[in-house]
RNA sequence: UGGGGCGUCGCCAAGCGGUAAGGCACCGGAUUUUGAUUCCGGCAUUCCCAGGUUCGAACCCUGGCGCCCCAGCCA
């Protein structure tokens, strides 16, 4: 017993998340299946950027391998040259590393297996299990039948092995035009599972492949490449999303016909997050049609977008752990992700003050030209992070929202004749409100209580505390505030005919160009998170330059006042 | 109406015949120079429905109902 408790490995194992896949793997390992070997893989197609949905799969595959002492391969499923690019390969690898995972030398490409796949196709032809079909795509579709009616055999289905071998070789040699012929598996046109109705194995594509160049003009379909790729790599547990469950019998069929190592496939439910989109097609469209400023737009659910937004990799890993892995279609609320981000950032982010909607305040009883350096912790709960000095002077900016002309009783901030504490500074009282011709409040004249620096006020209670920035020392910055990208929980899947583009939230990005931050923020490096006290977490954006710093709002602080209102 | 998958709190999710974990959200309340954090407390007599088996069922059986996926020479 005591040994168990003292063994950190066992302790963590007990605390590790359990789900049906991890349970299966644990059982397999316990029963010494696959000689106690565990190999998983993350198999992205290099045709776009990774998003938070991929992160779920990544954390599962790499996570379980790490937990159980197995390996997780990175394999690019690059069987469709017309959609894939090297740009995406590099981006995917960078995202994976950023997320905190490493695959060592286990980096593979389905395209590396093209020759083997071709040989296996020949083997199936020789065994009478595959044939070259001259039907057009349209004709194949016609003969496939429907969900409730069986399909019918292609007139080319009974070609001789010799003819098939010859034709397939000539397909490879480039004798035929795109679409002229395909190689199909000979299974069963009446199979209730559509995937088994003589699926296409190879198509002719005179296209340049990002890795194999012009070596091939026939390319295997995903279904003829994926299972065998797993087999070649001796993957023990082939984890994928639910929609591939119907393909499992086909993969198993190929593996069995070929007599090669048989990985087992397990399917889990893909991640759905509210008020955003996860489909690559939609993500591509948002970028291509400039509805966002790129794959790394901070509003995008892509890993590059979230990174730019300031989401820590750890928060994403925590999120993936928290949502679990199951088989029921699930919609996760953004608040779960945001909570993970807050939890992480609250612990690590240095605090700073910044005013994003400035209102000028003049402290009429504070000497002109005087500057005090006020002492404040960098993190109130973590003294070891050190302290910072904040310049204070006669003219400051406060947040417009922290002043109300006619405040309700529960409003603890500033109002005419009211008092409030300046964070880490004095208590001030609003004596005069200056308005412009339009009647808008443009400036406040206040007095300060000299005895309240680091001390409680005498004879009264002042509950409110507001943040501020000294005008003379303020750093002018731009702040970008973000809201959900879409107005509806499930864009593009709602009522008839509504384009998901029309469901974009026009107010998803708000750019505030006239913001002021405490001078220490001048040293902010791109991507590092700060908490702007009382507002939220922010990080410097890559659009920053020598002239102006730009900050992205990562996530707001919880705001029970906002709720109360 | 062919095949595959799924239905446990508003959203996720444990549970695997012995009498409903946990997280998010929500609602209190305490501490607080961030209306933050932290901290306490509340939040499914009930597990899609209906029968049945059993001393005992969310878990087993039967029958319904509902939702998702599949008819790309995409992955």
Average pLDDT over chain A reads: 95
**Looking at the domain covering A128-219, what would its CATH class be?**
alpha beta
What's the CA gap between A405 and A523, in Å, rounded? Answer: 36
Quote the CA–CA distance of A42 and A56 in Å, as a whole number. 11
Q: Is A280 a catalytic residue?
A: yes
Mean pLDDT value across residues A475-484: 98
Model confidence at A8, pLDDT cuts 50, 70, 90, reads: very low
pLDDT at A65 over 60: yes
Nucleotide closest to residue A534 (CA–C1'): B34
**Proximity of residue A194 CB to strand B below 7 A:** yes
Q: How large is the average pLDDT for residues A383-407?
A: 97
Question: A494 falls in which pLDDT band (50, 70, 90)?
Answer: low
Axis crossing angle, helix A114-126 with helix A248-258, rounded to the nearest 10: 80
Its pTM stands at 0.95
Residue A472 banded pLDDT, cuts 50, 70, 90: very high
The answer to whether A22 CB is within 7 Å of strand B is no
Distance CA A275, CA A484 (A): 6
A332 CB and strand B closer than 7 A: yes
Q: Any idea which residue has 């080319």 for tokens?
A: A156
In chain A, which residues from 432 to 471 place their CB closer than 7 Å to nucleic acid strand B? 452-455, 464-465
Length A329 CA → B13 C1' (Å): 12
Q: What is the pLDDT of residue A281?
A: 93
What class is the A275-353+469-565 domain?
A: mainly beta
What CATH code is assigned to A360-466? 2.40.240.10
The answer to whether A206 CB is within 7 Å of strand B is: no
**Confidence band, pLDDT 50/70/90 cuts, at residue A71:** very high
Decide: A453 and A426 in contact? Cβ < 8 Å: yes
User: What confidence score (pLDDT) does residue A6 get?
Assistant: 30
ipTM for the predicted complex comes to: 0.97
Q: Is the CB of A79 under 7 A from strand B?
A: yes
Q: Which one is catalytic: A270, A282, A360, A445? A: A270
Q: Please, how many CA atoms are within 13 Å of residue A398, restricted to the half-sphere of its CB?
A: 30
Distance CA A185, CA A130 (A): 4
Q: Please, are residues A219 and A17 in contact by the beta-carbon 8 Å criterion?
A: no
DSSP string for residues in A522-550 = GGPPBT-EEEETTTEEEEE-TT--SS-EE
* Rounded CA–C1' distance between A288 and B60, in angstroms: 54
A534: annotated active-site residue: no
Residue A315 clears pLDDT 50, i.e. is over it = yes
Task: Inform me whether the pLDDT recorded for A500 exceeds 50.
Answer: yes
Share of chain A above pLDDT 90, in %: 95
**Distance measured from the CA of protein residue A129 to the C1' of nucleotide B67, in angstroms:** 38
DSSP code, position A165: H
The answer to whether residue A448 scores a pLDDT higher than 50 is yes
Identify the pLDDT of residue A565.
77
Sign, CA dihedral A358-A363-A367-A371, equals: negative
Alpha helical stretches, state H, A209-279: 222-232, 248-258
CA of A322 to C1' of B12 (A): 8
Question: Measured between alpha carbons, how far is A406 from A396 in angstroms, rounded to an integer?
Answer: 22
- Determine whether the distance from the CB of A265 to the nearest atom of strand B is below 7 Å: no
- The reply to whether A222 has its C-beta less than 7 Å from any atom of strand B is yes
CA distances (Å), A148 to each of A3, A178, A189, A192, in order?
Answer: 60, 31, 12, 8
- Whether the domain at A128-219 and the domain at A275-353+469-565 fall into the same CATH topology: no
Cβ neighbourhood burial of A332 (10 Å; 0-12, 13-18, 19+) = middle
Distance CA A120, CA A123 (A): 5
pLDDT at site A16: 55
Q: What is the pLDDT of residue A18?
A: 86
Structural domain boundaries in chain A: 128-219, 275-353+469-565, 360-466
Whether A166 shows a pLDDT value over 50: the answer reads yes
Collapsing DSSP to helix, strand or coil, A117 comes out as helix
> For residue A125, what are its two tokens?
């032809």
* A227-282: pLDDT as tens digits: 999 999 999 999 999 999 999 999 999 999 999 999 999 999 999 999 999 999 99
Name the 3-class secondary structure at A396: strand
CB of A328 within 7 Å of some strand B atom? yes
Q: What are phi and psi of A93, to 5 degrees?
A: -65, -40
Please give the average per-residue pLDDT across A192-210, as a whole number.
98
Is the pLDDT at A11 greater than 90? The verdict is no
Q: Spell out the alpha helix ranges (H) of A68-189.
A: 86-99, 114-126, 137-143, 161-172
Distance CA A103, CA A489 (A): 35
User: pLDDT at position A17, please?
Assistant: 54
Chain B footprint positions (protein CB, under 7 Å)? 1-8, 10-16, 22-27, 33-38, 67-75
Residues of chain A with pLDDT > 70: what percent? 96
Q: For residue A1, name the pLDDT band (cuts at 50, 70, 90).
A: very low
Which pLDDT score is estimated for A498? 82
pLDDT classification of A99: cutoffs 50, 70, 90 = very high
Q: Which residue is nearest to nucleotide B75 (CA to C1')?
A: A222
- Binning pLDDT at 50, 70 and 90, where does residue A496 land? low
Distance CA A324, CA A54 (A): 14
The catalytic position among A37, A129, A157, A280 is: A280
Q: Is the CB of A322 under 7 A from strand B?
A: yes
């Amino acid at each position: 017993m005591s040994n168990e408790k003292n063994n950190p490995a066992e302790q963590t194992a007990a605390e590790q998340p359990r789900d049906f896949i991890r349970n299966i793997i644990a059982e397999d390992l316990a029963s010494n299946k696959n000689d106690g070997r565990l190999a998983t893989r993350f198999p992205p197609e290099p045709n776009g950027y990774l998003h938070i949905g991929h992160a779920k799969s990544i954390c599962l595959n790499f996570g379980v391998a790490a937990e159980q002492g197995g390996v997780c391969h990175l394999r690019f499923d690059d069987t469709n040259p017309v959609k894939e690019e090297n740009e995406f390969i590099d981006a995917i690898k960078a995202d994976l590393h950023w997320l905190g995972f490493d695959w060592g030398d286990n980096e593979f490409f389905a395209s590396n297996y093209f020759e083997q796949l071709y040989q296996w196709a020949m083997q199936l032809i020789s065994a009478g299990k595959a044939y070259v079909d001259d039907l057009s795509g349209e004709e194949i579709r016609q003969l496939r039948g429907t969900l409730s009616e069986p399909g019918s055999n292609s007139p080319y289905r009974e070609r001789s092995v010799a003819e098939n071998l010859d034709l397939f070789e000539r397909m490879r040699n480039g004798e035929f035009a795109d679409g002229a012929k395909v190689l199909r598996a000979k299974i069963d046109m009446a199979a209730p599972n559509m995937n088994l109705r003589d699926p296409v194995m190879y198509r002719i594509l005179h296209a340049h492949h990002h890795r194999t160049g012009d070596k091939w003009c026939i390319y295997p379909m995903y279904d003829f490449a994926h299972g065998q790729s797993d087999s070649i790599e001796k993957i023990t547990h082939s984890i994928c999303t639910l929609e591939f469950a119907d393909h499992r019998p086909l993969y198993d069929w190929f593996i069995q016909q070929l007599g090669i190592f048989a990985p087992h496939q397990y399917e889990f439910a893909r991640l759905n997050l509210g008020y955003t989109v996860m489909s690559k097609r939609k993500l591509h469209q948002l970028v291509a049609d400039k509805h966002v400023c790129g794959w790394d737009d901070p509003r995008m659910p892509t890993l590059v977008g979230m990174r730019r937004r300031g989401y820590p990799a750890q928060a994403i890993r925590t999120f993936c752990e928290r949502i679990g892995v199951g088989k029921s279609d699930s919609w996760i609320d953004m608040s779960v992700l945001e909570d993970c981000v807050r939890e992480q950032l609250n612990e690590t982010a240095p605090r700073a003050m910044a005013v994003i909607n400035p209102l000028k305040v003049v402290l009429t009883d504070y000497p002109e030209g005087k500057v005090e350096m006020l002492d404040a912790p960098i993190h109130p709960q973590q003294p070891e992070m050190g302290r910072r000095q904040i310049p204070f002077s006669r003219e400051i900016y406060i947040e417009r929202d922290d002043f109300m002309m006619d405040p309700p009783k529960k409003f603890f901030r500033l109002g005419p004749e009211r008092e409030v504490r300046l964070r880490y500074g004095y208590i001030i009282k609003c004596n005069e409100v200056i308005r412009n011709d339009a009647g808008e409040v443009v400036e406040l004249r206040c007095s300060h209580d000299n005895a309240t620096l680091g001390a409680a006020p005498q004879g009264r209670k002042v509950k409110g505390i507001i943040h501020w920035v000294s005008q003379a020392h303020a750093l002018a910055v731009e702040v970008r505030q973000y809201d959900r990208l879409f107005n509806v929980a499930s864009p593009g899947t709602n009522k008839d005919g509504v384009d998901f583009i029309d469901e974009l939230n026009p107010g998803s990005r708000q750019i505030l160009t006239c913001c002021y931050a405490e001078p220490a923020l001048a040293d902010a490096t791109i991507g590092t998170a700060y908490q702007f006290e009382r507002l939220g977490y922010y990080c410097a954006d890559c659009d920053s330059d020598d002239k102006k710093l730009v900050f992205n709002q990562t996530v707001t602080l919880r705001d029970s006042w906002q709720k109360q209102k």
